[in-house]
Structure 1
Amino acid sequence: MLGDTTKTFVPLSFSQLRVLALASLGGALEFYDFVIFAFLAKLIAVHFFPSDQAEWLRQTEAFGLFGAGYLARPLGGVVMAHFGDTVGRKKVFTLSVLLMALPTLVMGLLPGYGTIGVAAPLILLMLRVMQGAAIGGEAPGGWVFVAEHAPPNREGLAIGLLTGGLTGGIFLGSIVILLVHQLLSPEEVTNWGWRAPFIIGGIFGFLAMFLRRWLEETPVFQDMHKDREGIVALPLKILVREYRRSILSCVLTTWTLTAAIIVLILMMPPLMQTLHHVSSKETMVASLAATFCLTLSVVVTSYCADIFSIKCLSVVSGLTLVLGAFGLYGAFPLFPDSLSIWAALSGLSCGFVGLVPIAMVRAFPAQVRFSGVSLSYNISYAVFGGLTPAMISLLTPYTLLSPAIYVCVVSIIGFIAINLAKQNS
């Protein structure tokens, strides 16, 4: 069956809407803080590494610091998830904002290599690791938090709104960087303007942390807390022993999520500039269009998961994702003046991204849910987040369609994995 006509849909109460709004706002700000480093990596390289080094080496070192954030995600996510399953979702959910806001603000104020020498990149590395730990707990914690606050048959919408907030953070980062370049001269941006996005992000991050103080613990965890036998001492041990199939399926579905976001959104601008000589301004506009449409697609698809079977939706979303990838990397070269249109269509094709967190939340029981989602999500991102750009780079010399082919293969893997996943809620 595509849908269940016997389902009753309870309207979202004011308190539930407040939970969704605060969770989505905090998630958007965390992802904004995390991604602006990538947008500003070239300028960061100028300020935080020796000026006598070659430009390519400094930029490589800056991207190395960006990658350190990804490497810290699994450890940070697992540790935070452990306390989320044993101490409480709310406490960890609030802590993740602090761990993101503080390093972001310090990055905007940190003196460069010319002032404090080698201490500058070392401190920057430490701050980036803190950000990675925070982001490793934010998305899994947010999905679990809003799902356990949602009324019956509104779980998909709740998770989708949060996921839309996360992708909206990437969109917000793009907008702020674009405004900085529009309002300031190139010299001002290089000298001090690049700091503004970090300072803005840090301040609003602290605001988000303050607002999250008003959130309540999830009803599911409160019930577990009343019955102390419902809280397990070592969630990770239970996961490895009893939920290996669920972990595997969630790792593979998250691989599809990473492929969609990295190949169709994050790698699209540099690939289009390199492969088809599109201007950086045009790719920036196209990136904004793609990210905005991605956010819409995620929310709509997640809403549909409350009405239709997630397995049936995976068929439609998987096929759409493949078409979007081939449209962007295959059809666009035939219509070279329409990149923004194809980018927007590729963003709309990414509805599968919205299904992944819903499937993960449903794959684990409440006692180990935070740990299960976090472990699966962060392992997949740590492995495939780095593997995807490398694979695309290796395959591109053989065919310009390699990004689309990669997305196609991974979509098939994700479709199989999501249909083999057990449902525990």
Structure 2
Amino acid sequence: MHDTPQGGRTLPGRRSGVRRAFAASLTGTALEWYDFAVYSAAAALVFGDLFFPSEDPLTGTLLAFSTYAVGYVSRPLGGLVFGRLGDVIGRKKVLIATLILIGVATFLIGVLPTYSTIGVAAPIALVVLRFAQGVGVGGEWGGAVLLSSEFGDPRRRGFYASAAQVGPPAGNLLANGVLAALGALLTEAQFESWGWRVAFLLSGVLVGFGLWIRAKLEETPVFKAMEAEKTRPEAPVREVFTTQPRALIAAMLCRVGPDVLYAMFTVFVLTYATQELDMSRGSALAAVLIGSSLQVFLIPLAGAVSDGINRRLLYGVSAVAAGVWPFVFFPLAGTGWPALAAGVVVGLAIHSFLYGPQAAFIAEQFSPRLRYTGSSLAYTLAGIIGGAIAPLLFTTLLSAYGSWLPLALYIAVAATVSVAGVFLGRDPDAAVEEDARLAEPAAAGTVPTG
């Protein structure tokens, strides 16, 4: 029996499934992003010295951020492989596979010898493991979004889909919290010698917890309906490119600005604060920690707000704010730590009002039968031109010009790209009707419970 949304309600028989799916989407994505975020922080703080030794600290950081970018460049492979599988064999099986992949890769980074021990093999192995992380994350996002949103009322998709969006700040919060605690408990030498490894080795415990939660879930009602009606696509990747190119382009463009903004206020700000503003590592991490903790609440709030007003309008206004804020932040940050922390909090608050509605907005660009593939492709391909190169470009621009102005201009351009994507996207109301039509055949001949 498949209970379906009727009249904008989530039927009682599905409510427990909605709660479980929301929790599984949030916790699983948070655990994967813990793995991804702990690498990002380590790249900014210690990987330059340990895996890419150089006489110039900025050059070592630049090389470390190159491996950071690999995690984004490999995402499209994950989006292609796992996105297709998600539309063909189901959301649940794919999400278990992605969690295992990224967890194993992160654990292995924690035991990886450094350059001083095995020479050039160390950075090569680091790149390979980072590549595997990116493949896992590339296949994770689209499925995590659908896992929660396809169980719930389509008219509240902004809130339900935001479960997956809470994952990055929650994972980032956990990662930076662990690193900050290690930094406070250990000396500088201890942290650089072995302390950073503890954060990576914790991944094994966290992934086990995430697998336990996801294994208890059923497949989503929308996918079950596709199975019952035999409407699953045979070649979803080709169909997305041939039948829904505008949706793919719109979804890709709208992601660029938030990706660049997030890279600034969670990754590069650590380098900027320590190397340009002469602040301690702990102070820089604390600023990110505060901003990320607020995002855990702001993102679902923004998703819920987008259900009550025009989602595209909220996204567009937030994108404009993202382009303007860096011109305020950089002069402000130079006046001291309180100003830096406040600037990071505002930057991540703006990001929340982009990121909260983003999952629903992107999913609604595609028809239900191609939604996993389309969403995954948009997410991963946009990551290459957005988040992948952002820390690298931030570092290069700062090194070349010695000024924050080119950094702010770069973020403004990225935000403008997102505004273009919002205008190109379609009105999301049509997606509600699509879900209703898709769900009806699966419920034919059944009486909803409650």
**TM-score scaled to structure 2, two decimals?**
0.84
How many Å separate the matches in 2 of 1:275 and 1:186?
19
Query: Which residue is 1:409 aligned to?
Result: 413
* Aligned 1:69-84 pairs, distance under 5 A: 69-84=71-86
RMSD after superposition: 2.7
Q: Deviations over 1:169-214 (max 9, x none)?
A: 0111100000111122333323322221111112211221122101
Counting only pairs closer than 5 Å after superposition, residues 349-364 of structure 1 correspond to structure 2 as 349-350=350-351, 351-364=353-366
Q: Does 1:185 align with 2:187?
A: yes
Residue 445 of structure 2 aligns with which residue?
A: none
Q: Tell me, what secondary structure is at the counterpart of 1:305?
A: helix
Deviates more, 1:171-180 or 1:120-129: 120-129
Q: Distance in 2 between matches of 1:244 and 1:209?
A: 34
Larger RCO of the pair (alpha carbons < 8 Å, separation 6+) = 2
Structure 2 counterpart of 1:244, one-letter code: P
Match for 1:183: what amino acid?
Answer: L
Q: Does the Cα contact within 8 Å between 1:329 and 1:403 map onto a contact in 2?
A: no
User: In the alignment, residue 138 of structure 1 is paired with which amino acid?
Assistant: E
Q: What residue number does 1:4 align with?
A: none
C-alpha distance in 1 between matches for 2:63 and 2:333: 33
Distance 1:152 1:253, change over 3 A: closer
Give the C-alpha shift of residue 114 in structure 1.
Answer: 5.9
**Structure 2, unpaired ranges of 5+:** 1-6, 432-450
Cα distance in 2 between the residues matched to 1:9 and 1:325: 41
Which has the higher mean CA deviation after the structures are superposed, 8-17 or 358-367?
8-17
Does the 8 A contact of 2:252 with 2:382 survive in 1? yes
CA contact (8 A) 2:248 2:374 kept: yes
For 2:165 and 2:116, how far apart are their aligned partners in 1?
Answer: 40
Letter paired with 2:413: V
State the Cα deviation string for residues 110-160 of structure 1 (Å, max 9, x = none). 445566665544443332221111011111221122111122422111111
CA distance change for structure 1 residues 86 and 157 in 2, over 3 Å: closer, same or farther? same
Change (3 A) 1:131 1:323: same
Counting only pairs closer than 5 Å after superposition, residues 15-30 of structure 1 correspond to structure 2 as 15-30=17-32
- CA contact under 8 A between 1:73 and 1:133: conserved in structure 2? yes
d(CA) in 2 for partners of 1:62, 1:276: 20
The equivalent of 1:237 in structure 2 is 238
Pair 1:226–1:107, CA change in 2 (3 A): same
User: What CA distance in whole angstroms lies between the structure 2 residues aligned with 1:336 and 1:35?
Assistant: 22
Query: Compared with structure 1, are the counterparts of its residues 374 and 349 closer, same or farther at alpha carbon in structure 2 (3 Å cutoff)?
Result: same
* CA distances 1:341-383 after superposition (whole Å, capped 9, x unpaired): 2221222122112222221100001111111111111111112
Q: Deviations over 1:28-57 (max 9, x none)?
A: 1101111212322354465557x8x75757
1:261 corresponds in structure 2 to 262
Structure 1 position 223, deviation (Å): 0.5
User: How high is the sequence identity, in percent, across the aligned residues?
Assistant: 25
Matches of 2:150 and 2:41, distance apart in 1: 34
Q: Counterpart of 1:247?
A: 248
**Against the structure 1 CA distance between its residues 234 and 287, is the aligned structure 2 distance closer, same or farther, given a 3 Å change threshold?**
same
SS state at 1:363 partner: coil
Counterpart of 2:379? 377
Contact 1:257–1:356 (CA under 8 A) maintained in structure 2: no
The letter of the residue matching 1:411 is: A
1:160-199 maps to which residues of 2 (within 5 A)? 160-199=162-201
Structure 1 gap segments, 5+ residues each: 1-6
In the other structure, the counterpart of 1:282 is 283
- Using the TM superposition, give the Cα deviation of residue 16 of structure 1 relative to its aligned residue in structure 2, in angstroms: 1.3
Tell me if structure 2 keeps the 8 A contact 1:252–1:414.
Answer: yes
Q: Is the 8 A contact 1:263 1:403 kept in 2?
A: no
Partner of 1:221: 223
Instruction: Please name the residue that 1:314 is paired with.
Output: 315
One-letter amino acid of the counterpart of residue 325, structure 2: G
